[in-house]
Amino acid sequence: MFCYQCGKSEVLIKGLCAECYIKQYHILTIPADVSVRICVHCNAKFIEGKWIDANISHEEIIYRTIEDSIEINPSFENPIIDMNIIQMRGTIAESTVEATDTFFGKEVQEKHEINVRLNKDVCPICSKRNSNYYEAVIQIRSQLKKIENKKKEEIDKFINKTLDKLYKKDKLAYISQKNDIKEGVDYYIGSLKSTRKLSSAIQKRFGGLITESKRLVTKNKDTGKEIYRFWLAIRLPSFFIGDFIEFEDKIAKLLNFDGKKISAIDLDNNTIINISWKKSENIKTLKSSKDTEKTIVISKSPTSLQILDPKTYDVVDFPITPDIEKYSIDDEVNTIAINDKLYII
Ligand SMILES: [Zn+2]
Ligand SMILES: [Zn+2]
């Protein structure tokens, strides 16, 4: 077989010898001009009907666009490709792509020029954000008359941190507006989904009862779909962990809470009481953990323990229970006085 170009007898590719082949075929096929639609605010790019990859540098967008437009000739096995942005002319990145490879022992080198045009646009998320779009409002409220500024700041930091995390998956997880009012603080948030996640996170961290309501704002004329805005109010509790409370005629000490419930220990029988956040408004704080007082065990019998009342110095008798069994004479014990009754805690 002979090369149809030069007539040399050699291994042939598409009827050509290696030397003639590399004269006729390139390693890369690259268009001279490509364009990419990008969002001027977040740098997301519009590909196949979708806005993707926000927050990438222009340089990176240009290189990725070039990469996507390159076609490699499969006859070349290991080409080394080097891309360079030579200069920006307006929104056009004048760039070069160099490729090198060895082909049947011969060094092949080529250089292409490509212009990448950045078509500036605004993605729907940024356009919503810029128009102060919001789907839901979180209302931070308290069972107390007002929320202390320190608490507001702590919650504000927590909200911002949580939204930063949620933003990675939900680009509408942003605050479009914040209103500090007498009763608390209102946060207007881009996405309902993230607002729900945020409100549970606030509840888990700070406690409180969440109530949700919605209002019809508009009806889409074409689809007939009703569009609602959602209000999620969180009423922060008036109590703290360690407080002594009254709940449904029981005297108890608050142990902890999570997103679902509050746990307390009944001081009269040492059993755990779980209180749902729904019923939390019935919790009455009687004393705080600062109100406890220490005293001394003055005597102990198989059936009872006697201590000195830290206020009146009267002797108070306690029948032995598993919880106080461990104390001996002269031991220090913690007490709390509630409704004229003394409890060892
Ligand atoms: Zn040839
Ligand atoms: Zn954008």
Looking at the chain, the whole-number percentage of residues with pLDDT higher than 90 is 67
Question: Are 43 and 61 contacting, i.e. CB atoms less than 8 angstroms apart?
Answer: yes
**Ligand 2: distance of its center to the CA of 229 in Å?**
23
d(CA 337, CA 344): 9
What tens digit of pLDDT does each residue of 61-101 get? Answer: 999 999 999 999 999 988 999 999 999 998 999 999 999 99
Query: What confidence category does residue 336 fall into, taking pLDDT thresholds of 50, 70 and 90?
Result: very high
d(CA 194, CA 204): 15
Strands 209-219 and 184-189, bridge-based pairing: unpaired
- The closest ligand to the CA of 37 turns out to be 2
d(CA 234, CA 207): 9
Position 150 pLDDT exceeds 90: yes
**Ligand 1: distance of its center to the CA of 18 in Å?**
7
Beta strands in 237-290 (DSSP E): 244-247, 250-257, 261-266, 272-276, 284-287
**Ligand 2: distance of its center to the CA of 127 in Å?**
7
**Ligand 1: distance of its center to the CA of 104 in Å?**
13
Question: Are 342 and 316 contacting, i.e. CB atoms less than 8 angstroms apart?
Answer: yes
d(CA 28, CA 97): 9
Task: Identify the pLDDT of residue 9.
Answer: 82
Across residues 271-276, what is the average pLDDT?
A: 95
d(CA 131, CA 188): 12
Nearest to 159 by CA among 190, 133, 138: 138
Question: Are 136 and 229 contacting, i.e. CB atoms less than 8 angstroms apart?
Answer: yes
Query: What confidence category does residue 220 fall into, taking pLDDT thresholds of 50, 70 and 90?
Result: confident
**Ligand 2: distance of its center to the CA of 25 in Å?**
41
- The closest ligand to the CA of 122 turns out to be 2
**Ligand 1: distance of its center to the CA of 81 in Å?**
26
d(CA 141, CA 235): 5
Task: Identify the pLDDT of residue 236.
Answer: 93
**Ligand 2: distance of its center to the CA of 188 in Å?**
19
Task: Identify the pLDDT of residue 164.
Answer: 94
**Ligand 2: distance of its center to the CA of 40 in Å?**
7
**Ligand 2: distance of its center to the CA of 92 in Å?**
20
What tens digit of pLDDT does each residue of 113-122 get? Answer: 999 999 999 9
What tens digit of pLDDT does each residue of 163-202 get? Answer: 999 998 888 899 999 999 999 999 999 999 999 999 999 9
| DSSP codes joined into one string, 150-195 | HHHHHHHHHHHHHHHHHHTT-TT-SEEEEEEETTEEEEEES-HHHH
Task: Identify the pLDDT of residue 89.
Answer: 93
What tens digit of pLDDT does each residue of 47-56 get? Answer: 888 998 888 8
Position 43 pLDDT exceeds 80: yes
Strand, coil or helix: 118: strand
- The closest ligand to the CA of 41 turns out to be 2
Identify the residue whose tokens are 């509630």.
338
Position 342 pLDDT exceeds 80: yes
Helices 192-206 and 149-167 cross at an angle (nearest 10°) of 130
- The closest ligand to the CA of 124 turns out to be 2
Across residues 259-270, what is the average pLDDT?
A: 92
Q: Token pair for residue 239?
A: 């109590």
Across residues 339-345, what is the average pLDDT?
A: 90
Question: Which helix H or strand E contains 37, and what residues bound it?
Answer: strand 33-39
Task: Identify the pLDDT of residue 224.
Answer: 83
- The closest ligand to the CA of 52 turns out to be 2
Tell me the helix, strand and coil percentages in the chain, rounded to 5.
20, 45, 35
Query: What confidence category does residue 38 fall into, taking pLDDT thresholds of 50, 70 and 90?
Result: very high
Task: Identify the pLDDT of residue 217.
Answer: 85
**Ligand 2: distance of its center to the CA of 174 in Å?**
13
